[in-house]
Amino acid sequence: MKVLYAIQGTGNGHLSRAREIIPHLIKHASLDLLISGSHSELGCDYLVKYRKNGMGFTFGKNGGINKIDTIKKLKPLQFMKDVLSFPVHDYDLVINDFEPVTAWACKFRGKDCLAMSHQSAFLSEKTPRPVKISHSAELLLKHYAPSTSHVGFHFLKYDQEIYTPIIFSKIRKLDINNFGHYTVYLPAHSDDTLIKYFTQIPDVRFDVFSKHSKQSYQLKNVHVQPIQTEAYMNSLSGCEGLITGGGFESPAEAMYLQKKVLVVPMSDQYEQQCNAAALKSMGLTVVKKINDDFLTQLKGWINYGFPIKVYYPDITAELVENVLASFQPQKTSELINEVQPPNLLSALNTINRSFSTE
């Protein structure tokens, strides 16, 4: 069986999950990899056949998305050319982790696309949402990378097609200690902002892993360093707790390691707001934003916060085997790739209709 595994490259979570799934896919199939987007610090240990610009966002420094830089890096015409020219018909199965190029290429050609992603969990109404639901953001989650079938991952098994997180095998093998420091991963905040507050708690050490610094430096009790996998895992395994954004993999890994977690979701990223709602319902501490109240909330969490017990078994091998075993290749006659693909204008109109209608 020839399989294409398409991975979203914005953030580190998608590639972190892919590192665990890829070895199991290789055991059972001939595998090609595609990555779109380029805002991840994680590398890929396997040969990546395709790299595309895709559609992603850039982290800002004030708790949200850098909208100007995000818009500058969008290339809608190139995106559509990639969609219309990508040879999805060369593959028996396309597996997609919230990657839009191959998802839309499959949609236009009538080819099955299996989504395996955290975002797929939001296709279920049983997944936690914030009090204020954004209907436009819900549409984005639904149509950004359309699929014909899906497997979702979340902090808890909220529905039948939702599974607990795939934890990086190196995280599972770490020796757990507590040296009293706090590991910090808040990529949407500037180093200066974090240092401003952390230095006001001088008897506590903070290890800040930064998207904005290319070299390590120490300022009083705060150690700032670029994001590097081994250093981050060593800090996480020995910390008292993790201070992080509202992503998926980082809180899941910390909870698996029995660390307490404080979450600061990005202000204009709906998926992170949903994750924060789920984590809050589990008993974790959620802080809406870093402002004048943050120091009091941080001190309270340091003094009284506690780890949440979770059970995240290693299901990756079994899940991949079940997915491949249940897959039935489409007959050539069922595919639309033999028909002339839609032109660029009609393709853009199709996408626009998908985002503007329920």
Q: 16 and 135: one domain?
A: yes
**23-38 pLDDT tens trace:** 999 999 999 999 998 6
Residue 351 belongs to some domain of the structure? yes
Residue 309 belongs to some domain of the structure? no
Q: 279 and 320: one domain?
A: no
Region class of 129: left (phi > 0), else alpha (psi between -120 and 50), else beta: beta
Domain of 193? 169-304
Residue 32 belongs to some domain of the structure? yes
Work out the mean pLDDT of the chain and round it to a whole number: 88
Q: Judge whether 153 and 165 are in contact, CB under 8 Å.
A: yes
Length of the chain: 358
Q: 298 and 339: one domain?
A: no
Residue at which a domain ends, from 304, 327, 344: 304
Q: Give residue 67's pLDDT band: very low, low, confident or very high (50, 70, 90).
A: low
Q: Domain with 204 in it: what CATH number?
A: 3.40.50.2000
pLDDT of residue 245: 96
Q: 82 and 219: one domain?
A: no
Report the pLDDT averaged over residues 64-82.
75
Q: 207 and 220: one domain?
A: yes
C-beta contacts of 345-351 below 8 A and 24+ residues apart: 347/80, 347/83, 347/84, 347/104, 347/108, 348/76, 348/80, 350/108, 351/104, 351/143
Report the pLDDT averaged over residues 146-159.
97
Residue recorded with tokens 């098994």: 157
Q: Does residue 57 have a pLDDT over 90?
A: no
Q: Hey, what are 33's tokens? A: 């990899």
pLDDT of residue 71: 63
Q: 32 and 141: one domain?
A: yes
pLDDT of residue 46: 79
Q: 300 and 327: one domain?
A: no
**273-318 pLDDT tens trace:** 999 999 999 999 999 999 989 999 999 999 999 999 999 999 999 9
Q: Does residue 47 have a pLDDT over 60?
A: yes
**Higher-scoring residue by pLDDT: 274, 353:** 274
Report the pLDDT averaged over residues 311-336.
77
Q: Domain with 323 in it: what CATH number?
A: 3.40.50
pLDDT of residue 328: 63
Q: Which residues pair with 178 in a beta bridge?
A: none
Q: 85 and 141: one domain?
A: yes
**229-277 pLDDT tens trace:** 999 999 999 999 999 999 999 999 999 999 999 999 998 899 999 999 9
Report the pLDDT averaged over residues 91-104.
96
Q: Does residue 332 have a pLDDT over 50?
A: no
Q: 148 and 199: one domain?
A: no
Q: 281 and 230: one domain?
A: yes
Q: 109 and 224: one domain?
A: no
Q: Does residue 72 have a pLDDT over 80?
A: no
Residue 240 belongs to some domain of the structure? yes
Number of domains in the chain: 2
